[in-house]
Structures are given as structure tokens and as C-alpha cells.
Amino acid sequence: MKKYIISLDQGTTSSRAIIFDQSQNMIGMAQRELPQIYCNNGWIEHDPDEIYSTQHNAIIEALTKYDISIDEIAAIGITNQRETTILWDKTTGKPINNAIGWQCRRTSSICEELKKAGHEEYIKNATGLILDAYFSATKIKWILDNVEGAREKAKKGEILFGTVDTWLAWKLSEGKIHATDYSNASRTMMFNINTLEWDQKILDILDIPREILPEVHCSSYVFGNANIMGNLIPIAAIAGDQQASLFGQGCINEGQAKNTYGTGCFLMMNTGKKPCKSKNSLLTSIAASIKEKDVQYVLEGSVFSGGSVVQWMKDELHFFSESSDSEYHACQVKDTMGVYVVPAFTGMGAPYWDMYARGCIIGISRGTKRAHIIRAALESIAFQSKDLVECMQNDTGLKLEQLNVDGGASENNFLMKFQSDILNIPILRPEIKEITSLGIAQLAGLSIGFFKDMDEIEAKRQEITTIKPTMTEENRQELIKGWNKAVSRSRDWIEH
């Protein structure tokens, strides 16, 4: 009777509902665009009611489109854009402000003040994060400081806070669930990743009343029931999108990692039972978990310009009309003829952390063709990812044996082969594209017995393409040497 799990994948630009069966096959998907609100002053917001309505409509559309009855749904799993912050009135259910998006920098000055007051080190040790406007805590403080009467109401327990998962669970359960999971909590910058509790000292520093915070559980957990058209369906898993993807990739053991090649690249490594402190300013957070009070940790880093370098060649340089055509062009030449592209459009992240760096195309000669530049630009995505992998290996002392990949640009076979060559390890690419949704479906299925255990999940894993390295050590070292030299030329470019 109960044949399916619905994954809700609530992202920055869309709300999606994806249906999986017991063999972990994707049965269907419905998607609604989610508008982002760009305010004149550069702030980035969402309408929380729109987050919910687009998600709810996606569920209904998916069921209708594939002719699936709500009785056939065993559980719902929620995976979501992380950090985005919502506060609402507990009685009326009305948001007291728009959701503050994760990219919104409006609380930078609050972060500067916290740094001046000497709180950076404590926050880093307690939360694993770098003190930054990206995370939820200072966004909450901003709303409490700026919405009239909000802090008083919050102190009286009349206001609730949630990241997007918590908001959706609360709305879907008609106010019965106010909860999140360790993975989402670990990106708020007020959750102590050592004790697995909200950190009272940080709450005091920011004057955030504890009453507004959700309960925190492991990711694979029956949080309560959603009411979908009068039917009660368990919400059986919650996890942040990157952590759900890591789980969906099967990276459940120490030393396993995945890289998502989207606009930017998101690299995440499972570092096991102890939080690993990074010497390279990578972030430490908590993996998707299947037991209460028993978690694994992850290290996280990102490449700022990943697929965006391909988009830049398409939209600005007009080198091709589809991103996927970059593969064809790159394969028209046997190498870059010594050309390197360093796409430091907005500076460089780990391990360089140079915000004054800017992009360069270097090593060009009279014989350089468009194809050489396209090839070099694709290679730059792989070089940057290699730099991050090296940071993680240095921080953890673990050696990566293989890299699991997903995201739009992982479809590019040239890029994946070059990544494998430059890292000198195999690349594993699952056939299924919706790996984040699969991860949350697996976690939901595990908590209600739809999937018996990890062995069953593993046994039913869908097909994976393995791409193996063939490059000689000499060639690899030569290319890496050139890349390092090119990076050194792009650094410290902007006058400051």
C-alpha cells in the first residue's frame, strides 16, 4: 500500500517534490520556481509564505502528475537551503519579517562588532564556523533588533525561529512540529557542535531568547505528521542540502567526500566522530545522522567560480550557446598549449583567501585558439577543487581514495576525466541526478522501516560511472606547477 517516499528539496531558486519508490528509483518530480527578493540596498530575501506555498503546490502537482494517491506515501523527507532565517508569530503563524537569505550581507557590521569584542575564537570553537553574516545567528539578531516589539514577544515565547526546514515542518504540521536536525542547526552559528546543544553563551552575546529555538534531533527521525489534504503523513527526515547530498552519495564513512559542481563547487568530506579544526579556514559542521546524540562531522569548502566560468564563456564571451558544448570544444585540442585561466572573479577562497585577487588568462601565444581557452577554463574548475581536496587532506590527515560527484557540470566528461587525472584518484558519478533528494528519501525511509538498514540502501544503490586516472605523474606535476604559477600572477591584483 505505502509504496513511495516524497522528498521535498527546498532550494534558493526552486521548491521541488520528488517521489522515490522502494528500489530507490525516482518516479517523478514537480517543481515550482521560488522568487528571490533583491532589495534596493542589496539585501536578499524570500517571502516565507511563498516558500511554503510553492513547496505545497509542488507536492500536490507531483502526486497528480504521476497519478499517485496520498495513501501510497509512506513518509516525507525535507532537505533545504541552509542558514536562511525565518521568524514568525506562534499564534497567528504569520512571519514577522521576510526570510533573510543565506547570501544576504546585511549583518556584516554585527559580525565586525562581535570580532572587535573578541568573540571570534569562542564562536569558532563552539560552532565550527567562521564568524560571518552568512549564518543564521546574526540574521536572527537583526530581526529582533529591527522589528518593533519582536524581542519582548520573543522573550514571552510568542515568536518562533526556524531555518527553512523548520518553517516547512511547522507549516505542514499545522504548528505541531517545531524542530530541526543537527545538520541544519550546525549552520546557524549558535549550535554547539561539541555538546549538540544550543550554545547559551552565544545566545547571551546576541541577546537571542532560547524560547524561540526549535528542538534538535538526528536527521533520520519521525518529527511528527504533516497534514496533506486531511491525510497524516510522517515527516521522517530533515537534513541540510549539502549533507543530504553527502549521504545520498553514500559517503557515510570517515575520509569519504563528495563535490557538487554547480555555479560554485561544494566539497564536503566526512571526517568521522570528532570535529576536525581546519587550519585553512574551512568550515566544520555536522553530517546527516541516523542516531540521536551520535553524529559524524564534516569539513566543508567551496570553489567560488565553478560552473560560473562556463556560464561566463557562454554569456559574456559568446564562445558557445550551451554550457554542455564546452566539452566538445575542449576536446578539439590535445592540451591548452600552456594556457591557464584563473577565474578569480570575486577573489580566491581556500587555501588562498585573497579577496584582492582577480581573474586572468595567462600563457597565451599567437597560436592560442578559443578551444585552448575553453579547455583551460574547464581545467581551472578541477584545479581549484584539487586545491580544496589538499586542504582537507592536510587538515584531517586522511587520504581521499575516490571522489563522488554530482551537480550540473559533473555531466562534463572532459572535466571529470581531468579532475580524476589531476587528483590521481577515481571519480564516481551516480546515474541518478537527484542525489540530494535521494539522500533525504533514504534517511526518511530508514526512520520508518521503509528501508531496513544501510545494507539495504547500499544493495539497492543505482548505477555509478567510474572515471579512472591515466595521466603520468610527470605530466600531472608539470600541470600543477603551471597552475600554481598562474594563481600567483592573479593574486593581490586590486589596489588596496
Q: How far is the CB of 334 from ligand ADP (least distance, A)?
A: 19
Number of residues that bind ligand ADP (CB under 6 A): 15
Q: Write b or e for each residue in 35-74: b if 16 or more Cβ atoms lie within 10 A of its Cβ, otherwise e.
A: eeeeeeeebbbbbbbbbbebbbebbebbbeeeebeeeebb
**In the complex with ligand ADP, which residue's Cβ is closer, 134 or 191?**
134
Q: How far is the CB of 447 from ligand ADP (least distance, A)?
A: 27
**In the complex with ligand ADP, which residue's Cβ is closer, 219 or 308?**
308
**In the complex with ligand ADP, which residue's Cβ is closer, 346 or 484?**
346
Q: Nearest CA to 405 among 380, 426, 379?
A: 426
Beta sheet of 37-38, edge-to-edge order: 37-38, 44-46, 99-100
Question: Using CB under 6 A, which of 6, 283, 287, 310 touches ligand ADP?
Answer: 310
Q: Write b or e for each residue in 154-186: b if 16 or more Cβ atoms lie within 10 A of its Cβ, otherwise e.
A: beeebbbbbbbbbbbbbbbbeeebbbbbbbbbb
Which 394-413 residues touch ligand ADP, going by CB under 6 A?
407-409, 411-412
**In the complex with ligand ADP, which residue's Cβ is closer, 216 or 440?**
440
200: number of Cβ within 10 Å: 11
CA distances from 61 to 68, 164, 233, 289, 438 (A): 10, 21, 17, 30, 19
Q: How far is the CB of 305 from ligand ADP (least distance, A)?
A: 9
Distance CA(460)–CA(413), nearest Å, equals 25
Q: How far is the CB of 307 from ligand ADP (least distance, A)?
A: 3
> Helix axis angle, 435-448 relative to 241-248, nearest 10°?
80
**In the complex with ligand ADP, which residue's Cβ is closer, 11 or 93?**
11
Q: Which helix (H) or strand (E) holds 15?
A: strand 14-21
Question: Using CB under 6 A, which of 97, 308, 404, 420 touches ligand ADP?
Answer: 308
Q: Nearest CA to 377 among 432, 306, 458, 431?
A: 306
Are 114 and 123 in contact by the 8 Å Cβ rule? The answer is yes
Helices (H), 316-353: 325-330
Q: What track of x and - describes contact with ligand ADP for positions 313 through 332 (by CB under 6 A)? A: ----------xx-xx-----
Residue 307 interacting with ligand ADP (CB under 6 A): yes
Q: How far is the CB of 328 from ligand ADP (least distance, A)?
A: 10
Q: How far is the CB of 135 from ligand ADP (least distance, A)?
A: 20
**In the complex with ligand ADP, which residue's Cβ is closer, 6 or 409?**
409
Q: How far is the CB of 327 from ligand ADP (least distance, A)?
A: 6
**In the complex with ligand ADP, which residue's Cβ is closer, 194 or 332?**
332
All 3 cell numbers of residue 200?
A: 547559551
Residue 311 interacting with ligand ADP (CB under 6 A): yes
Q: Which helix (H) or strand (E) holds 115?
A: helix 108-116
Which 74-103 residues touch ligand ADP, going by CB under 6 A?
none
> Helix axis angle, 413-423 relative to 473-490, nearest 10°?
100
Q: How far is the CB of 361 from ligand ADP (least distance, A)?
A: 18
Q: What track of x and - describes contact with ligand ADP for positions 407 through 446 (by CB under 6 A)? A: xxx-xx----------------------------------
Q: How far is the CB of 339 from ligand ADP (least distance, A)?
A: 18
> CB neighbours of 181 closer than 8 A, spacing ≥ 6?
165, 216, 217, 218, 219, 221, 237, 238, 239, 240, 288, 289
Closest residue to ligand ADP, Cβ-based? 408
Are 422 and 482 in contact by the 8 Å Cβ rule? The answer is no
Q: What track of x and - describes contact with ligand ADP for positions 186 through 205 (by CB under 6 A)? A: --------------------
Radius of gyration of the chain (CA): 23
SS3 for 364? coil
Q: How far is the CB of 412 from ligand ADP (least distance, A)?
A: 3
Q: What track of x and - describes contact with ligand ADP for positions 253 through 272 (by CB under 6 A)? A: ---------xx---------
Q: Which residues bind ligand ADP (CB under 6 A)?
A: 262-263, 307-308, 310-311, 323-324, 326-327, 407-409, 411-412
